[in-house]
Amino acid sequence: GNSVTQMEGPVTLSEEAFLTINCTYTATGYPSLFWYVQYPGEGLQLLLKATKADDKGSNKGFEATYRKETTSFHLEKGSVQVSDSAVYFCALSGPGNTGKLIFGQGTTLQVKP
């Protein structure tokens, strides 16, 4: 079945460092791919999405490219801030495009000043 695998955390970086969080997926068909972020005490928020191969999603300095050949959707940011500290979830749309999302296990990012 469809599934998502993320790199294990926590990831600890200094402010202004480069961030990569790896995400790979297994899916039938052509799912849409998402990154969600969960700040402490808050609900999940959509960070960015890509709906087809080679699409690049971007928001707030984060970006990820839908790579069908490597079944990957890695999240990157050139210069992280303390305020980026959160849990990041990679997700894909379930079969049949009913609305179901299938999430990875989440990666905790801690950014130190």
Site for other proteins in 69-108 (CB under 8 A): 89, 91, 93-94, 97-106
CA distance 113 to 11: 14
CA distance 73 to 90: 8
Which one of 4, 23, 47, 86 is in contact with other proteins (CB under 8 A)?
A: 4
Q: Is the CB of 55 or the CB of 94 nearer to other proteins?
A: 94
CB of 78 to other proteins, least distance (A): 26
CB of 90 to other proteins, least distance (A): 8
The residue assigned the tokens 């297994």 is: 26
* Residue 40 binds other proteins (CB under 8 A): no
Number of residues in contact with other proteins under rule CB under 8 A = 24
**Residues 6 or more apart from 106 whose CB is under 8 A from it?**
6, 9, 38, 87, 88, 89
Q: Is the CB of 18 or the CB of 30 nearer to other proteins?
A: 30
What 3-state DSSP class applies to 84?
helix
